[in-house]
Amino acid sequence: MEKQIPIYVVNFQDEERKQRMIARFQSIGLELQFVPPVFEDDPRLVEIPHKRTSSIMMQHLDSIRHFYEQTEDDFCIVCEDDIYISKYLKDDLPKIINDFSELELDVLLLGYLFPYSLHGNWHFPTLRANDKYYYHGYPDDIWGSQMYMISRKHAKYLLETFTVQFALDNLEVVHFNPDWTLTKRGKRAVISPMLAVEEGDTKYHHAEQDYFHLMCMQHNYNPDIHI
C-alpha cells in the first residue's frame, strides 16, 4: 500500500468540527493529524497583537514544523477544519503530487476563497491543464489557507521566515495571519476545480465577511464531488 503524505488539520478545541473532518477524510481512506491548540497566553504570543489570528498562524506553523522535523515525507497538506473535501482527493493525489513536482512548485492551494471562475481571468494565468484539473498562478490578494500543499524545502523556508521576530518586526505591515503570509511566498499555484471548499458558515459574525464566505461556497461546492 502506498504511503500517505501527512495531512494536518488546524482545529482549536472544536470537537464537532474535528469529528466531522475525521469522518470525511476516513470515508475516502485518508488519516489526519492534529497538533495541540495554541492558546492566547502561549509565550510566543506575549508581544504579538491580534492574538486570535496569531494563535491560528502558530498552529499552522506547528503543523508544518511537525511535518519538517518529525517525518521524512517530501510533501504535506495543511487544512482548516471547516471544509468539504473532494471524494476523489485520495485517488488524485499521486497525479497532483507529480504535477506539483513537474511545475517545481513550493505551494499549491487545493482550497481557497474566490467566488468566480478562474478561467480567462488574467489574474490567474494557466500554468498547466489536463483532463480533470487546471493549475493557475494567483495574485497576492487571494485568501488561501483553507487547504494547501507544500514541499519539504518550502516548509524549511516558512519556518525560518515566519518567526516571532518576523511578527514583531512587521506589526505595521502585515498581520501574523496564515491567509496573508504562508501561501504568498515561493512559486505558487491554485488548482481548479477545488479539492476543498469552505463550508461557508464562519465564526466571524461580520455581515460582509459572512456573505463573501457564503458566496465562495455556493460558487465552488459541487454536491456530486464534495463530501
φ, ψ for residue 160 (rounded to 5)?
-75, -25
Average pLDDT rounded to a whole number, residues 49-60: 92
Which pLDDT score, from 0 to 100, does residue 183 have?
Answer: 95
Asked if pLDDT for residue 2 goes beyond 90, the answer is no
Could you say which DSSP state residue 2 is in?
A: P
Contact partners, residue 1, CB within 8 Å, separation at least 6: none
What is the third-level CATH fold of 7-220?
Answer: Spore Coat Polysaccharide Biosynthesis Protein SpsA; Chain A (3.90.550)
Asked if pLDDT for residue 1 goes beyond 60, the answer is no
Which pLDDT score, from 0 to 100, does residue 172 have?
Answer: 80
* Residue 98, all three cell numbers: 507529480
Report the alpha-carbon distance of residue 190 to residue 111 in Å, rounded.
8
pLDDT tens for 80-126 read 999 999 999 999 999 999 999 999 999 999 999 999 999 889 999 99
How deeply is 131 buried, as exposed, middle or buried, from its count of CB atoms within 10 A (0-12, 13-18, 19+)?
exposed
Asked if pLDDT for residue 207 goes beyond 80, the answer is no
Specify whether the backbone of 186 is left (phi greater than 0), alpha (psi in -120 to 50) or beta: left
- State how far Cα 30 lies from the chain centre: 17
Asked if pLDDT for residue 49 goes beyond 90, the answer is no
Buried-state track 1-38, b at ≥16 Cβ within 10 A, e below 16: eeeebbbbbbbeeeeebbebbbebbeeeebebebbebb
Could you say which DSSP state residue 28 is in?
A: T
Alpha carbons within 13 A on the beta-carbon side of 36: 4
Question: How many Å from the N-terminal Cα to the C-terminal Cα in the chain?
Answer: 24
φ, ψ for residue 209 (rounded to 5)?
-65, -40
Report the alpha-carbon distance of residue 157 to residue 124 in Å, rounded.
24
Which pLDDT score, from 0 to 100, does residue 9 have?
Answer: 98
Which pLDDT score, from 0 to 100, does residue 208 have?
Answer: 81
Average pLDDT over the chain reads: 93
Which pLDDT score, from 0 to 100, does residue 59 have?
Answer: 97
Specify whether the backbone of 169 is left (phi greater than 0), alpha (psi in -120 to 50) or beta: alpha
Asked if pLDDT for residue 139 goes beyond 90, the answer is yes
Average pLDDT rounded to a whole number, residues 38-64: 93
Bridge-based pairing of strands 7-10 and 134-136 is unpaired
Average pLDDT rounded to a whole number, residues 44-70: 94
Cis peptide before 223 (omega within 30 of 0): no
